Amino acid sequence: MYKIAIIGDRESVLCYKAIGLDVYVETSFQKASKLLNELAVKNYAVIFIIEDLYGKMKTAVDKYMYSPLPAIISVPGKKGSDGSGMAAIKQAVERAIGADIVN
């Protein structure tokens, strides 16, 4: 059985605590990257990261991009979506096919 974690700023992640996720409050991307590396070897299958933090710690996230677990997913925080999640999908399509042909 695996656990789920969420990393992000206080206001964005506090709410997730109520529904039983493991909440880690972190705003500096260096610390968050370190935290991510720690969580990745622990028993976490899914790690959600608030979008603006996710954007800053791309190098740490990319390390786990192609391993089956954990799945590291960006979710919009209190500032709302900045479209980076969609951009990541677009990037994957371009990588696989050469051009973004899906609308």
Partner 1 sequence: MAMIKVNPTRMELTKLKKRNKTARRGHKLLKDKRDEMVKQFLDLVRKNRLLRAEIEDLLAGINASFSIAGAAMSVQALEQALCYPKQEVFVDAVTKNIMSVNVPVFTPKLSGEKNDIYPYGLAFTSGELDRAVGGLASVMPKLLELAQTEKAVMLLAEEIEKTRRRVNALEHVMIPEQEETIKYIVAKLDEDERSNTSRLMKVKEMVLERPSEKA
In the complex, the residues that contact partner 1 under the rule CB under 8 A are 1-4, 11-12, 14-21, 45-46, 48, 65-66, 68-69, 71, 73, 75-78, 80-81, 85-86, 88-89, 92-93, 95-97, 101-102
| Residue 14 in tokens | 């506090």
Alpha-carbon distance of 87 to 16, in angstroms, equals 25
Burial of residue 38 (CB within 10 Å: 0-12, 13-18, 19+) is: exposed
In this complex, which beta carbon is closest to partner 1, that of residue 56 or of residue 73? 73
Query: Is the Cβ of residue 56 or residue 84 nearer to partner 1 in the bound state?
Result: 84
